[in-house]
Amino acid sequence: MTPEPGHAIGQLPLVPDELLKAHFVQEKFDTRFRACARLLQALWRERQGLPIGSFQGRDGRKRKVGSLLSTCAAAVGRNFLGPAVAHLARREVIYQEAGALIDRQRLYSNLLSSMPLAFNLFAPLRFDLPLAAKVMRAIAPTIDIAAVRHVWFEHSPGRREADLTGDRTAFDVAVVYERSDGAAGLIGIEVKYSESLTEPAPAELNPRYDELAQASGLFKEPMHAALRVNPLQQLFREHLLAQAAMMRGDWLETHFVLLAPRHNVNVQQGADLYRKFLSSPGASQASFLNVELEQFVEALGWAGARDEAYALFDRYLNWGTVIEAVETCLRAKIEDWHIAPPPSAPLTLIGKAA
């Protein structure tokens, strides 16, 4: 539906090609949401006065891409919402867990990537653990969170360990918390922005997943093939990683959270589909929560980090900027023209039609 002033945005527009071209963000295989998100990042970059980056294709040719930063801007850390966040990201790269897969180019120069988004979202929580507890309680009110003890990035309880998932599956962010009774729990978080849950998947899942799926009690049909392919396979793997960590005794309870924008239809539909495969969780099962990115940003502002919340909204969720650019593009096409009148009106035919 066409957006109306003062009303919530029902759906994002199909961005005109000429607008995408003007900002160097026309990509053939972008989804509707991804095109809007890519344009939003380009508009944000331009407003910040940051130089555009380039992409080199397989043919060796380079082309400008509006959602990429130049090498110099990336090196300074301008993909992050402040110097402190940039410093944290650099330290996390240097001290990353053994076997972690951190693509430095995506992290430092790709404005559209969910990797820098994860740092921009959770760095304020890492810097202020009481703030972290407030935010996590707001987005996950069913979990008993008395205090947050740690916020980790690109974390796995144990990569390639046979009593977990036996591969490199990991969470974008992991929050370790303490319950009101003193017991510890873990919340593993997968952050999505413009991704569609159709990204490259493992050719074949480790047989360990079959064992875990059947032993976990998480699924109505644990051997269902749909759980092992896109769009569900990543949710399936990470949910089982959280479950395996609890079954091994690492934590008294664990939870798996998917965090993605409300308007990313592909991810939201994938989450809805995944939920249909789940059994009702008991005390011995890791719960699954689908949290909208908008909820997280609102919770951050409510908890007291208003400047950070506004910066996140402006960078990642300010769809009004995209709609304004689209409307400006459409208005530029308006010309003053008129329909030529007919030579004479056949009144008898008009009467019959009436």
The answer to whether residue 351 sits within a structural domain is no
pLDDT of residue 344: 72
**Amino acid of residue 307:** D
The answer to whether residue 213 sits within a structural domain is yes
d(CA 354, CA 351): 5
Query: What is the residue range of 164's domain?
Result: 17-331
The answer to whether residue 303 sits within a structural domain is yes
Question: Six-digit token pair at 127?
Answer: 């810097």
Buried b (16+ CB within 10 A) or exposed e, 260-270: bbebbebbbeb
Q: What is the CA radius of gyration of the chain?
A: 24
CB 122 within 8 A of CB 153: yes
pLDDT < 70 regions, the chain: 1, 345-354
d(CA 93, CA 101): 10
Which one, of 169, 153, 143, 145, lies nearest residue 245 by Cα?
169
d(CA 35, CA 330): 17
The answer to whether residue 317 sits within a structural domain is yes
Which one, of 262, 273, 254, lies nearest residue 157 by Cα?
254
d(CA 98, CA 139): 30
CB 147 within 8 A of CB 177: yes
d(CA 159, CA 102): 14
Q: Which residues, at least 6 apart from 253, have a Cβ–Cβ distance to it below 8 Å?
A: 179, 183, 185, 186, 246, 283, 286
Contacts 24+ apart (CB under 8 A), 324-333: 325/19, 325/39, 325/43, 326/13, 326/15, 326/16, 326/19, 329/16, 329/18, 329/19, 330/16
Which one, of 261, 310, 251, 262, lies nearest residue 285 by Cα?
251
d(CA 204, CA 110): 29
The single-letter DSSP state of residue 219 is B
The answer to whether residue 165 sits within a structural domain is yes
The answer to whether residue 342 sits within a structural domain is no
d(CA 79, CA 47): 14
pLDDT of residue 204: 86
Q: In the structure, how many helices (H) and strands (E) does the chain have? A: 14, 7
d(CA 190, CA 235): 8
Q: Which residues, at least 6 apart from 128, have a Cβ–Cβ distance to it below 8 Å?
A: 305
CB 88 within 8 A of CB 123: yes
The answer to whether residue 346 sits within a structural domain is no
d(CA 273, CA 290): 12
Number of domains in the chain: 1
3-state secondary structure of 222: coil
The answer to whether residue 263 sits within a structural domain is yes
d(CA 231, CA 349): 57
Instruction: Label the pairing between strands 253-260 and 287-292.
Output: parallel
d(CA 52, CA 134): 37
Which one, of 95, 64, 90, lies nearest residue 79 by Cα?
90
